[in-house]
A and B are shown apart, each in its own frame.
Chain A
Amino acid sequence: MYMEAPMSRLTRATALRIAAGITAVLSLIEIFVYQLPYLIRGQTAVDLDAAQTGGPPFFLIPIQFALHAIALVAAYGAWRGQRWGVVLLIVLSVLNIIPGLLGALFAPSPGTRIYAVVSVILDILIIVLCLWRERKSAGQVAHVS
């Protein structure tokens, strides 16, 4: 069998760079807009806020901060086309989907819910980009015996 396929316009290297870029932007937004302000306010204020408005409990904040810090490192690895970076990015994106879905369901404000839904969609997009494969080059396949 002779197989021939047109070349995909999006190369794997470009797909990985897009995924790394999205991850870096999302992680920086999470770190500077959400986690750092919560960490600065301290456990008492955050837990009180969580009890009154339904925000996240304080113990989740350092975990999410660490995950997003690791995601930055993973984004660097994926940008360089390293396998460890790609694998780490996939794992972290899946882990990010869980709080994203919870946020989409239980977040107190519509804005936060919309942000959670968008982040889930972007995490799925990141996974798709990390698994992106270039099409096979024409003529390289000899036969299927």
Chain B
Amino acid sequence: MMRRWFDGSALLYWLLIGLVLFAYMAPVYVAITQTFPLHDVAPPLALNLLALVVLLATYKPVWRWVQPRVHHVVYAADEPNIDVIGQISNTLAGAPSDSSMLATIAETIAQIVKVPYVQVGLLDGTTAAVGTARPALVYTRVDITYGAVLVGWLEVGSRLPGEPLTNGEYQLLNHLARQVGITLHAAQLNEALQASREQIVTAREEERRRIRRDLHDGLGPTLAGLRMQLSALRHSLRSDPDTAEIVLDSLRDDVRAATADIRRLVYDLRPPLLDEHGLLGSIRHLSNILDGATLTLDAPATLPLLPAAVEVAVYRIASEAVQNVAKHANASACTVQLALDVHMLTLRVTDNGTGLPNDYTAGVGFASMRERAAELGGQLVIEPVPGGGTCIMATIPCRVRV
């Protein structure tokens, strides 16, 4: 940043310093030299020397008192007001939403609060600083928050060594930190949204590729084979009925396989059970998976209309969890709990089995459940149940009218 060739504030600072020191020295000098009625107008040398000694003796404390106060008058930021808040808002509104935003924020705050050093940091360790941190400065740290969410922090160095910021400046800093918090939070949301969009597009493309592969490698050859078998059947129908019968049997098996392929394809897109029985009915059907164990469903009697993505995710997670219970838990009971409030759907699958082994590492199934929850902005937690067993809890954001 270029330095201005003329610094009006510095000129005013030294002018005020000079005037205030004069306002101290002149009355002291006059008081000492003119109070004693030992002379006419011109004071004797002894009184002049006495005045000089007194002024020199009191110079340092007076300077210490005057200098930071004049500095404060000239350089201190104003109390929080609409202009200052508007200034930071305008700057932040025009700031680019990348890493250089932090530098812009630091520079703007340094200009507004008029401090020599400002550092802004995010929770991920990204920082940006303006000015040079000197050991003698007093550093004030303010949390940058958005609501109750901690977004980052702000550290400001004092203008003079040993002179921390005033209450007003501290308040101003807090006001600015709130504005910065809104901006940084918005930027982070923007980045998360962008990442989410990319994830959605990627997932959609992968899904298309999978369907294309299934159709091309599975159903396509099956249908081609059926066509060839039909041709063979046409040739042999009258001339060789025995062969035709064999071909018909083969045809029937192939059609059954093709139907199974289509069913699997359809099931992968959306479990048909969900359309036939709804989410609660589909979860009840999972009891078929459990071999000997009982499945208890603890859920509201009826559920409101859930978004299709949420329904599928909850069903798939529950299905995977119950399958794990059947395969690994050696449990006699499994409980599926479903709770719903205005903003969140909570699925809890608990069993009374052997629990997670000590050397447990998450496999494909758990990763898949986590991904399904994360895709919808939710979380999945796996934890042991006191007394034995495992609990898988998925929370998924869900706006419904309860």
Contacts and interface: CB of A to CB of B under 8 A. Distances in A.
Interface of A: 3, 12, 81, 83, 86-87, 90-91, 93-94, 97-98, 101, 104-105, 120, 123-124, 127, 130-134, 136-137, 140-145
Contacts of A91: 15-16, 19
Contacts of B66: 131
Contacts of B22: 94, 97
A70 to B, nearest CB: 15
Nearest to A90: B16
Contact of B166 (A93, A105, A134): A134
Contacts of A94: 19-20, 22-23
Ranked nearest first, the 3 interchain pairs of A and B with the lowest CB-CB distance are: A131-B69, A142-B141, A94-B19
B258 to A, nearest CB: 71
Contacts of A137: 167, 170
B164 A136 contact: yes
B181 to A, nearest CB: 18
A132 B168 CA distance: 13
A9 to B, nearest CB: 13
Contacts of B72: 131, 133
Contact of B23 (A97, A141, A142): A97
A6 B41 CA distance: 47
Nearest to B78: A83
Contact of A144 (B34, B78, B138): B138
A4 to B, nearest CB: 10
B80 interface: no
Interface string B130-169: 0001011111110000000000000100000010111110
Given A124-B27, A133-B72, A145-B135, A90 B20 contact: yes
A137 B165 CA distance: 9
A135 to B, nearest CB: 8
Contact of A131 (B30, B73, B78, B136): B73
B73 A83 contact: yes
A131 B66 CA distance: 8
B27 A3 contact: no
Main secondary structure of the interface of B (DSSP, over half): helix
Q: How large is the interface on B (under 10, 10 to 19, 20 to 34, 35 or more residues)?
A: 35 or more
Nearest to B156: A142
Contacts of A93: 23
B19 A142 contact: no
B73 A136 contact: no
A133 B139 contact: no
B366 to A, nearest CB: 43
A94 B18 CA distance: 10
Contacts of B27: 97, 101, 120, 124
Contacts of A131: 20, 66, 69-70, 72-73
Contact of B133 (A3, A83, A86, A145): A145
Contact of A136 (B20, B41, B74, B166): B166
Interface in B22-37: 22-24, 26-27, 30, 34
24 contacts: A3-B164, A81-B79, A83-B73, A83-B74, A87-B12, A87-B74, A90-B16, A90-B19, A91-B19, A93-B23, A94-B20, A97-B26, A104-B34, A123-B23, A124-B27, A132-B69, A137-B170, A141-B138, A141-B139, A142-B141, A142-B155, A144-B135, A144-B138, A144-B139
B159 to A, nearest CB: 13
Given A12-B166, A134-B166, A144-B135, 9 more contacts: A87-B12, A87-B73, A97-B23, A124-B24, A133-B166, A136-B167, A143-B139, A144-B162, A145-B133
Contacts of A81: 79
Given A123-B23, A134-B166, A141 B79 contact: no
Contacts of A124: 23-24, 27
B285 to A, nearest CB: 60
A81 B170 CA distance: 18
B68 interface: yes
